[in-house]
Each structure stands twice: as structure tokens, then as C-alpha cells.
């Protein structure tokens, strides 16, 4: 009954994920509406979403969702909104996030060893290969000088991002939910 007449091809689905057909602004508004309609209190939804966004600002690629769910569960946030929050970390934003947290880590004084400027594409590709081979020598010698500043910068940035998203979203969600309650009350 509610299906499309013509199925969307896989190529078009991938394209819509990387570049929404109707634009980023509409995608953002749609995401906010979906968040506001999730079951739960404004606190739990905002806390869950903030956890997802905060975990996207760490170098723990591949484990963002897992850590967002764990953190959200620990603080009583919505697990579904935590998953939605990890959308912030995507192929478009990761290069900027990695560069930012790496430089924040260097600014904090976490020594980068002889790593110099990091080529993150090559670095993460080599790190995944080394992890699959359980090559501890690579991880200690080549990965740690880059990961150490990224972890330090990511922790500080994640805290700031969590606070910013939580305190922005909570009143917005509260107002949205109150507006919905007033709309459904019987007229006197």
C-alpha cells in the first residue's frame, strides 16, 4: 500500500546517503523532526543524540555506534537518538574532525613523536590492516604517535560537543513536544 511503484536502485540509495537529493538543509530539518518524534523525554533524546555526536568526534572509527550506545545507556539517554547522532560523523566530516582533534591534541601538548603531519586516509587504512593482522609493532611504533594526540583532542572536543548539542537540543525538543501536546488537546 505505501510502497514505491519503482524501487530505488542501490546506486541511487548510496548517492542519497552521500549527497541528499533534496539538500542538506531539508535533510537536517527532517532529522530534527524525526528526533522530536522519538519516544522519550527531551532529556533522554537530547542526551542520546549528544552522545552520538560526541562519539563521532573521537578517532574510534568503526566503534562510534557501540560507544555512543554504551555512553547513552549509562547516562539514561535514548539509544535510538544516539544512533542517529552518529550521522554527524560521516565521510564528508571525518577529514575535518580528524584534523581538528589531531591539532587540538598537539595544542594540548600530547607529543606526536616523529609523526609530523598525518595523512589520515593512509593512516587509517594501514591501521585497519595492522589490526586485522594483529601487528602490535605497527600499532605501537606508527599508530600511537598519531592516535595519542587524536585521543586527547577527541576527548576534550567530545565533551564540548556533547554539552553544546545537549543544551541546544533539550529546550528545542521540549518546545516541540509541548506544541504537539497542545495541538492534540480537546478544545474547550
From CA 67, how far away is CA 117, in angstroms rounded?
Answer: 28
Sorted by where each begins, the domain ranges of the chain are: 41-173
Give yes or no for a contact between 31 and 84, defined as CB atoms under 8 angstroms apart.
Answer: yes
Query: DSSP per residue over 26-85, as a string?
Result: HHHHHHHHHHHTSSS-HHHHHHHHHHHHHHHTSS-TT-HHHHHHHHHHHHT--HHHHHHH
Is pTM beyond 0.85? Reply is no
Tens-binned pLDDT, residue by residue, of the chain (188 aa): 567 777 878 887 777 766 777 777 887 777 777 777 778 889 999 999 999 999 999 988 888 899 999 999 999 999 999 998 898 888 788 888 988 998 898 888 877 665 556 676 777 777 778 878 887 787 777 778 888 888 999 999 999 999 999 999 999 888 887 876 555 445 55
- DSSP annotation of 187: P
* Spacing of C-alpha 55 from chain mean position: 6
Give yes or no for a contact between 156 and 59, defined as CB atoms under 8 angstroms apart.
Answer: no
* Residue with grid cell 560507544, as numbered in its chain: 67
From CA 17, how far away is CA 123, in angstroms rounded?
Answer: 25
From CA 89, how far away is CA 83, in angstroms rounded?
Answer: 11
From CA 54, how far away is CA 50, in angstroms rounded?
Answer: 6
To the nearest 10 degrees (0 to 180), the angle between helices 64-75 and 42-56 is 150
Amino acid at each position: 500500500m505505501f510502497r514505491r511503484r519503482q524501487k530505488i536502485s542501490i546506486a541511487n540509495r548510496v548517492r542519497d546517503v552521500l549527497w541528499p537529493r533534496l539538500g542538506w538543509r531539508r535533510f537536517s530539518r527532517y532529522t530534527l523532526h524525526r528526533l522530536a518524534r522519538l519516544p522519550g523525554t527531551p532529556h533522554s533524546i537530547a542526551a542520546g543524540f549528544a552522545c552520538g555526536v560526541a562519539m563521532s568526534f573521537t578517532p574510534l572509527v568503526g566503534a562510534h555506534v557501540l560507544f555512543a550506545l554504551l555512553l547513552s545507556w549509562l547516562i539514561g539517554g535514548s539509544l535510538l537518538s544516539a544512533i542517529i547522532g552518529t550521522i554527524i560523523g560521516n565521510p564528508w566530516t571525518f577529514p575535518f574532525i580528524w584534523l581538528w582533534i589531531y591539532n587540538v591534541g598537539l595544542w594540548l601538548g600530547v607529543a606526536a613523536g616523529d609523526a609530523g603531519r598525518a595523512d589520515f586516509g593512509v593512516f587509517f587504512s594501514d591501521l585497519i590492516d595492522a589490526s586485522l593482522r594483529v601487528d602490535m609493532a605497527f600499532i605501537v611504533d606508527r599508530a600511537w604517535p598519531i592516535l595519542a594526540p587524536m585521543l586527547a583532542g577527541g576527548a576534550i572536543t567530545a565533551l564540548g560537543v556533547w554539552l553544546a548539542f545537549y543544551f541546544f537540543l533539550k529546550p528545542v525538543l521540549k518546545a516541540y513536544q509541548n506544541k504537539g501536546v497542545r495541538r492534540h488537546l480537546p478544545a474547550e
